[in-house]
Structure formats: structure tokens, C-alpha cells
A and B are shown apart, each in its own frame.
Chain A
Amino acid sequence: MLRLSGISIRNTLRGLDLTVGRDEFVLVIGANGAGKTTLFNIISGAAIPAAGKIFFNDRDVTALPQHKRAKWISSVLQDPRQGTVAEMTILENLALSYMRNSHKRITKSTVELFKKKLSVLEMNLENRLSERAGDLSGGQRQALSLIMATVADYDLLLLDEITSSLDQKNSLMVMRIAEKVVTTEKKACMLITHDANHIKYFNGRVLEMKNGALASC
């Protein structure tokens, strides 16, 4: 479904090749500075490669801007402050994500869907829809971003160091939620982490990033 061929960008990635199949779970590990986030940005469209091509469902998307790729690619960012809009309510945040790839209207049944999705978190967020996302804790906001990433249809879910700005307790909780989401959604997902301990939460292909290239391990 996703295919990268010969991707290079300055000194970070050097002729990188990668194929991710439909429903496949891929875990990318590597030290800080290995180029994990750059790889992520290349896939999401936030960065444009100097050389190489990106194919999505056999379509060349190398030149497609990030906001257009958002139709198929859903992502959760490192920093929960960036993954949610602090000044907007939980409902508005969910609505924005829900409208990501269509002009669907928010109706009563959509709100019920949001509530059902939020109830998985067991944080009582489903009853706090009109509160501002900025009033939530970092862990709650990151959990909310995970739900936001899955309210609209997508083909590939990108999780980039989603626990790096959380304390140990919260990062454990967010990882458990991520595992729950990934197993129930059964869609292609790439998780980037520098913490090898995260491997135990997921079943899937593990790749190590070293010097701008990927190797299985």
C-alpha cells in the first residue's frame, strides 16, 4: 500500500526503501537523530525528499502536499500540544478530525459515535465534550489525539514517539491505549519509537533505523 523507493534528504536519509502492506503493523526503532521523524515527515508530506518517490496505493504522491495526503494518512504527533487545539473544546477537536477527508456534517449520531470512541479510554472524557482540550493533562490530550486520529477513515496510521513528552505512568497508559486502538482498527500502522521496550506491546515487523537506512531486526 505504501511504498518508498530511494528516498534521500540531505544527510538524514540515504536511498531509503520501504514497503508497508495493508493491515500491516510496522515498528521503527532507532536512536535519537537516526532520521525516524524525518522518515515520518516524508510519509506525511511535511517534508519533501530531495530524491526518490513515494507511492500510496500505487499512486505517485511524492509531490502531493501534506493536507491532501491527510485523506489517507492519519497521524499522532510527538507533542500533545500540537496534536490537539488547546483553545477548542474536545468536541470541536474531534469534529475537525472527523471532517478530515470529507464534508460530513456533525449530527447527534456523530456525537454519539464520538462518545462511544472516547469511552474506550475510560477517562470520562465522553461527558466532558464541551471542555477545552487545553484543560486536559498531557496524557489525556495524547489519548484524545489517538481517538481523533481514528474517528475518520484512513489507510495508514502514523504514531511518532507518542509517549516521548509524557511521564512513565502516562506513557504506559498511552501505549496501552495505542495497542487497543491498533488491534481494534486492524489497519496499517507505523509506530516510531526510540524505546525498544515498546516492542512488547505490539505484534508486527520491527525495523531499525541506522545512518539513514532501515534494517530488519
Chain B
Amino acid sequence: MFSELVTSVNVGLIFGVAAIGIYITFRTINFADLTCDGSFVTGAAVSAVLVKAGGDPYFALIASLFAGGLAGAATGLLNVKCKIADLLAGIIVAFMLYSINLRIMHNSPNITFIDNTTVFTNNNILLTTIFILIPIVLCLIFMLFSGFGLKLRATGYNKKFALSSGINIATMTVAGVVISNALVAFAGSLFAQYQGFCDVSQGAGTLITGLTAVVIGEKILQFKKEPFLLLSCLLGAVLYRIFINIALHGDTLGVRTQDINLITGLIIIAVITMKRREKCSGSPV
């Protein structure tokens, strides 16, 4: 039971990084980005290929950051240069990434590298994840508090104000999508190393699970200072994993693995609806 809890926390933290990425697009810059279903696999694929070839697993993590960032740059540029709507730009890039991911994986739909040295080999799994996450989260919090972070957030909240304050909205949008997808790919990379396995279709649903983590986190940890909301993304992701684990193990509930998508969808609908209702009742009409 305890070891299962540790596993849930660990997987939750890994997906928490993806949730932070999704938070940056959906909340900070207000850009509905669907690239992540593809960039998650890109990160996993880069990691799988590099580790399998005997490369340094930490280098593989950093390489995934760049690969994901490139995917994000494609979506961002399609949006600001070709004027393709955010949703569509993300869908197109995620669609194309399927082919690219297969190329990265040398045309095989899955790669097993369970015998190769990953960041988790001979280390405590949970502690390793935490040690890897700490610098990333600190960098992000620092970034969001900096002048650049202020501009990034202003772009999402109020475009008209941003423009009249000399903020280049196009640059900020691309920067936000790049950072977001770099993080999502990083999560994919870490998850692949954790599993010792990468599958070309494992990215499906990254967005929804990430978004669920974001809304659960926002509901539970209501930080006043926005940069700290990143921590609530992590907590939300962990809670989501624990919840799914409990649901799957309560034999009395009769929940099966294939029901996860349905349950996840219901959770996200419930939390968003609760939020809307609170907002409506709170504001004077």
C-alpha cells in the first residue's frame, strides 16, 4: 500500500511538470495549446533513443527540453506569423509530431530500454524525481517574478494594456508556448526513463490529465501570489494520481483501467463548474 502511494506521488510529480507547462499556456499567456499531446512523446522519444544508445540520461533530459521547445516554437510561430488560431496551430503541430516522433524513434512504434542506465538506476526513485524538480521549479518561480515574467503574465491577462505598455505580444506568446512545451517534453522524457519504455501513442491525453491537475491544484491551494501557483500544479497532479489509484483499487467501485478517461473527464467538468458557480455568486449583478 505504502509503495503504491510512493509510486502515485512519483508519477504525479513527473506529470506535475507537464501540468506546470500546461498552466503556463492555458493560464499565464491564455493560449489554448494542444501541442502537448505530441511534445510529451517527443520528449520521451528523445530520451529513449539517447539512453538506449548509451548516452548520459541527464543529457537526454536536457535534450528533451530543447526538442519540446522547438515543437512549441512551431506552434507559436504558426499562431503569430501565419495567424492560425491557437487551438488549430497546436492540433496541426501535434499531428505532424506523430511522424517526427516516429522518425526520432527510428520508425519503431515503441522502444524498451529497461536495461539501460537512467537517472533512476541505483537511486531512490522519489528522491531523484524531487532533486530533479527542485531546480526546475525554482527557475520557473524566479522567471515569473522577473520583469520577463511580469510581461508574460500581462500578455495573458490584458493584451490591450500589454501593447500600450510596449510589450511585444508576438514574442511573449512564442516564448510562453516554447517554455510550456519544453516542460511537457521534459516530463515525457522523465516518465520514459522511469518506465524504461516509450510508445509513440503515449502522449494521448497529456493535455486533459495536465489540465485536471491544474484545476484541482487551483481549487485546493489558492495562492495569492501567482508564481507560487506552480506548486499547486504539482500538488494537483499528485492528488489526481492518488485519486485514480484509489478508484482503481476499490474493487467495490467496480472501476476498471479503461474507465480512467471517463473519470478524468468528469473530475475536470465538476471542478470547472464549481469554479464558475462560485464566481457568479460572488460578483454583484
Q: Which residues of A contact B (CB under 8 A)?
A: 44, 46, 66-68, 70-71, 75, 77, 82-88, 92, 95-97, 99-101, 103, 105-106
Among A67, A71, A85, point to the contact of B157 (Cβ < 8 A).
Answer: A85
- Asked if A97 meets B158 with Cβ closer than 8 Å, knowing A92-B150, A103-B147, A105-B147, the reply is no
CA distance A17 to B9 in the complex (A): 67
- Asked if A100 meets B147 with Cβ closer than 8 Å, knowing A85-B154, A85-B158, the reply is no
User: Can you show 20 pairs from A to B with CB atoms below 8 A apart?
Assistant: A67-B167, A67-B169, A68-B166, A71-B166, A75-B164, A77-B161, A82-B158, A82-B160, A84-B161, A85-B154, A86-B158, A87-B153, A87-B157, A87-B226, A88-B150, A88-B154, A96-B151, A99-B151, A100-B165, A101-B166
| Residues of chain B lying within 8 A (CB to CB) of residue A75 | 164
Contact A66 B153 (CB under 8 A): no
| Residues of chain A lying within 8 A (CB to CB) of residue B150 | 88, 92, 95-96, 99
CA distance A20 to B158 in the complex (A): 30
| Residues of chain B lying within 8 A (CB to CB) of residue A99 | 147, 150-151
Contact B147 A70 (CB under 8 A): no
| Residues of chain B lying within 8 A (CB to CB) of residue A106 | 147
Q: Which residues of B contact A (CB under 8 A)?
A: 147, 150-151, 153-154, 157-158, 160-169, 226
Contact B157 A70 (CB under 8 A): no
| Residues of chain A lying within 8 A (CB to CB) of residue B151 | 96, 99
| Interchain residue pairs A-B with the least CB separation, the first 6 | A70-B166, A100-B166, A85-B157, A66-B163, A82-B160, A85-B158
Look across to chain B and name the residue whose beta carbon is closest to the beta carbon of A70.
B166
Dominant secondary structure at the A interface: loop
| Residues of chain B lying within 8 A (CB to CB) of residue A87 | 153, 157, 226
Look across to chain B and name the residue whose beta carbon is closest to the beta carbon of A79.
B160
| Residues of chain B lying within 8 A (CB to CB) of residue A71 | 166
Contact B164 A70 (CB under 8 A): yes
Look across to chain A and name the residue whose beta carbon is closest to the beta carbon of B159.
A82
Contact A46 B163 (CB under 8 A): yes
Look across to chain A and name the residue whose beta carbon is closest to the beta carbon of B145.
A92
Knowing that A66-B163, A84-B161 touch, tell me 8 more A-B residue pairs with CB under 8 angstroms: A67-B162, A67-B168, A68-B166, A70-B166, A86-B158, A96-B154, A96-B165, A101-B166
Distance from B128 Cβ to chain A, minimum over Cβ atoms (Å): 36
| Residues of chain A lying within 8 A (CB to CB) of residue B167 | 67, 96
CA distance A66 to B147 in the complex (A): 20
Contact B157 A86 (CB under 8 A): yes
Contact B147 A97 (CB under 8 A): no
| Residues of chain A lying within 8 A (CB to CB) of residue B157 | 85-88
